[in-house]
Structure 1
Amino acid sequence: MRKVLVVMLAISILMTGMIFSKTVVTFWESMGGDLGKTLSQIVDTFNSQHANIEVKAIYVGSYATLQQKLLASAVGGGLPTMSQVYSNWTAALMKSNVIQPMQTFIDNPQIGLSKSQLDDIWEPFLKANTWNGKIYTLPFNKSIYIMYVNEDALALAGVSIPKTVPELIKDLPLLTIRDSSGKVIQYALGLRTTVDTFEVFLRQNGADFINSDYTKATLDTPVALETLQTLVDMIKTGDVLAQGGYLDGPFGNGQIAMYIDTSAGMSYTANSVGGKFSWTIAPVPAWKTQAPPFAGTDLAIFNTASPAEQEAAWEFVKFLLSPQIQAFWAIKTGYLPVTKSAIETQAWKDYVASNPMANVLVSQIPYGSSDPGIAAWSQIRNDVGTLVSDAMFFKMTPQEALRLAQQEVTKDLQSQ
């Protein structure tokens, strides 16, 4: 009898362990501050609804730290189940063959996505997550470049929000205010002297740093020269505040009437303005086209995890893409909803009713452009950024800067 009880107890303990065992998903992320708190809420909600899965969101620090850790782990081992990734990180990680393509899960008839579910993801995002016809990653925290506008300043000058680059240039002297000594007390526009500013205007001008098949630098070209020369000429007018740092502070202080940055900075701008004046956002002024760059990361699942862990991570990815979660994430963080169904939720509609600027963001998604998904992109940006900055600070001519950039980017592409 005693042996029977021992056996029954052992079976009971084993079954209890099986019932309460969970598949753990480790998720490396770089969402600090309030963003991290919002992500924690989402993770907690998912875990409460999935008794057999536990997602552990692990904050690893800055994006630079995350990149270094991922690339090192891809070689030395220790990758998480899933992580945030930029597209150029994905390209580098693909060389180590550690990414499990999302296509594997999407096409699974039991746990995959239907055509309508896949079509629900905005096409520009889906395109940026695709390599050689296969979806490797899926979008997560996405923002887009927009123009921040001091409505009171424009109203005082009798100027409408410029819709094109020529209109923007024409309005610069009208929005600049100088005191009796000629000192500028309000600049028309703020521009960061960074690679991002050049990239925004170059995309609007219908071009990029490299060609469409990522094989050739396209910086020593008439369109690139026109773009950089235009930026330099705007700065030379004295109507533009050009600096490397963020511009929400000068905007909030009334030092600039307009500036261009990502939508991820909207909460910072709101805090800087603090109700001192009426402000809004608008699309980046168009040039030859409308193609404002997206910013932000995607989600990758790694094949170094067990099949059970990968499937559990996939369940979490699907949860993140669900309409209610997408609406919650976008409302709480200011990031873009990456699915169309999110903007059909009542939560989003209620939010837009009191925050009409959100409509501007969504309206720009179909026109947005993504960075090339190549491993060399970080180095390309660094090289172009250094030279473009030199041109905007008048250390060299735009033509000199672009000729050097052409040479550096050519080397970067050859080193891939």
Structure 2
Amino acid sequence: MKKFLVVLMVVLSVFALAKVKVTFWHAMGGGHGETLQEIVNTFNELHPDIEVEAVYVGNYGALSQKLLAAAQAGELPTIAQAYSNWTAKLIQSGVVQPLNEFVNDPKIGLTKEEWEDIFEPLRKNCMWGDTIYAVPFNKSLYVLYYNADAFAMYGVDVPKTIDELYEAARIMTEDFDGDGKIDQYGFGFRTTVDFFQILLLLRGGSILKQVDGKWVSNIDSQETREVLAFVKKMVDDGIAYFQGGYLNDIFGQQKIMMYIDTIAGRPYVESSTKGKFTWSWAPVPTWVTNKVPFAGTDIIMFNTASDEEKRAAWEFMKYLISPEVTAYWAINTGYIPVRRSALETSIWKEAAKSDPLIEIPLKQIDNAVFDPQIGVWYEIRTVVGNMFSDFINGKVDMETAIKTADQKIREYLKEEYGE
């Protein structure tokens, strides 16, 4: 008997040692992190030969710094969350693993139908030319949050266009006590690059454009001027409240009646409005176009891993984007599923039946656009955010703001292309 137990222990030890470890760095804290760990645990149970270790690094800023430092030190994980501009920088460092060989593998890959089942904007955001460097993960879309009770009380329809948004904001702006100060604003916005870029895309403009295969500045445009003028008019007419921070709290306080943000903000809206009023959301109003940006990260693999680790990592990445798992992730976190077939799963259909709101953002998915996949995009976003904030806060006139931003963007693009 003793001999049998010794042999069994040896066999089990060898089996344990045979496990391939996949280290996964991420920035999902709180409830999102708990849901991710549940997914990891289930994967590990289903794949006894693989052990995925999910490592919470901290917020996105901490993860970005750790990845860049690890790339320099040669101490990268197997896979990690990454925004596309991080991926672009890491591609330039030569450490990101192309995924084509895994996606196209007849045994462990994805069929053409499965790959194209990923929503097209999300899929294209993972590709640099014909090379696949990522799979989509935690993605969110922008929506119009609104006070449904107030809209009903004022008899105002949910705006479908920017002109209707202006009119709805005008109607619902109130100075209740007659002291000359607005107590309730029809609309609220943050003085961030995100809000500016949403309007710029809707107006038909863009921060950058491609010319002869290279990105060039497009900020010095008529569309930029029209967006800045429109937002300034809303402020000057006293129908829009603005601040730099998040708007869910003042929305809950009924200081603003509507605002635009990502669906990732839903838990905070539910908390701030609980017991006060009924809220809802709708697609972002259209202008010249109906294009909207999406937000969120992808999962990338590093070529510093062994072939065995890469293969195991691919199995996990494929599992993450499977219809049932991406549906489960979306339902439990508020992000969108990354595959169209996820909407046909029983888990998604049951969730949508009890919570119809979850399907509204997806009406915009085919119009969604992604940011330029360049290493200096973060720096360019900062420049444009400062331009918008400084102008709205009256620190600089429109032409100076635009010309200054344009010059700085051109300098960053020279850095990107080594010019």
For residues 144-183 of structure 1, what are the structure 2 equivalents within 5 Å?
A: 144-179=141-176, 180-183=178-181
| Partner SS, residue 410 of structure 1 | helix
Query: Deviation per CA, 1:246-280, whole angstroms, max 9, x where unpaired?
Result: 00001111111000111100111011110311111
- Distance in 2, Cα, partners of 1:153 & 1:178: 15
Sort the Cα spacing of 1:12 and 1:153 in 2 relative to 1 into closer, same or farther, 3 A.
Answer: closer
The equivalent of 2:136 in structure 1 is: 139
For residues 297-376 of structure 1, what are the structure 2 equivalents within 5 Å?
A: 297-376=297-376
Q: Which moved more, 1:193-202 or 1:174-183?
A: 174-183
For residues 14-413 of structure 1, what are the structure 2 equivalents within 5 Å?
A: 15-21=11-17, 22-179=19-176, 180-212=178-210, 213-413=213-413
- Distance in 1, Cα, partners of 2:32 & 2:108: 29
Query: Deviation per CA, 1:130-162, whole angstroms, max 9, x where unpaired?
Result: 102111111000001111010111122221111
- Distance in 1, Cα, partners of 2:387 & 2:289: 25
Amino acid across the alignment from 1:317? M
- Distance in 2, Cα, partners of 1:399 & 1:344: 50
Q: Residue 146 of structure 1 contacts residue 292 of structure 1 at CA under 8 Å; is this kept in 2?
A: no
Query: Deviation per CA, 1:381-410, whole angstroms, max 9, x where unpaired?
Result: 011111210001111122221111111100
Q: Residue 214 of structure 1 contacts residue 372 of structure 1 at CA under 8 Å; is this kept in 2?
A: no
| Partner SS, residue 79 of structure 1 | coil
Instruction: Give the Å deviation of 1:77.
Output: 1.1
- Distance in 2, Cα, partners of 1:291 & 1:282: 14
Query: Deviation per CA, 1:220-268, whole angstroms, max 9, x where unpaired?
Result: 1111111112112211111111100100001111111000111100111
Instruction: Give the Å deviation of 1:172.
Output: 2.2
Amino acid across the alignment from 1:191? F
Q: Residue 177 of structure 1 contacts residue 186 of structure 1 at CA under 8 Å; is this kept in 2?
A: yes
Unaligned runs of 5+ in 2: none
Q: Residue 28 of structure 1 contacts residue 80 of structure 1 at CA under 8 Å; is this kept in 2?
A: yes
Instruction: Give the Å deviation of 1:314.
Output: 0.6
- Distance in 2, Cα, partners of 1:236 & 1:411: 33
Instruction: Give the Å deviation of 1:367.
Output: 1.0
Instruction: Give the Å deviation of 1:14.
Output: 5.9
| Partner SS, residue 184 of structure 1 | coil
Sort the Cα spacing of 1:413 and 1:358 in 2 relative to 1 into closer, same or farther, 3 A.
Answer: same
| Partner SS, residue 226 of structure 2 | helix
In the alignment of these two chains, the number of paired residues is 411
Sort the Cα spacing of 1:108 and 1:160 in 2 relative to 1 into closer, same or farther, 3 A.
Answer: same
Query: Deviation per CA, 1:160-213, whole angstroms, max 9, x where unpaired?
Result: 111111111222220101122232221000110111110110011122111034
TM-score using structure 2 length: 0.95
Q: Residue 165 of structure 1 contacts residue 286 of structure 1 at CA under 8 Å; is this kept in 2?
A: yes
Instruction: Give the Å deviation of 1:17.
Output: 3.4
Instruction: Give the Å deviation of 1:10.
Output: 9.6
Q: Residue 98 of structure 1 contacts residue 302 of structure 1 at CA under 8 Å; is this kept in 2?
A: yes
| Partner SS, residue 177 of structure 1 | coil
Amino acid across the alignment from 2:402? L
- Distance in 2, Cα, partners of 1:280 & 1:389: 28
Amino acid across the alignment from 2:101? T
Unaligned runs of 5+ in 1: none
Alignment root-mean-square deviation, CA: 1.7
| Partner SS, residue 287 of structure 1 | coil
| Partner SS, residue 246 of structure 2 | coil
Instruction: Give the Å deviation of 1:95.
Output: 0.8
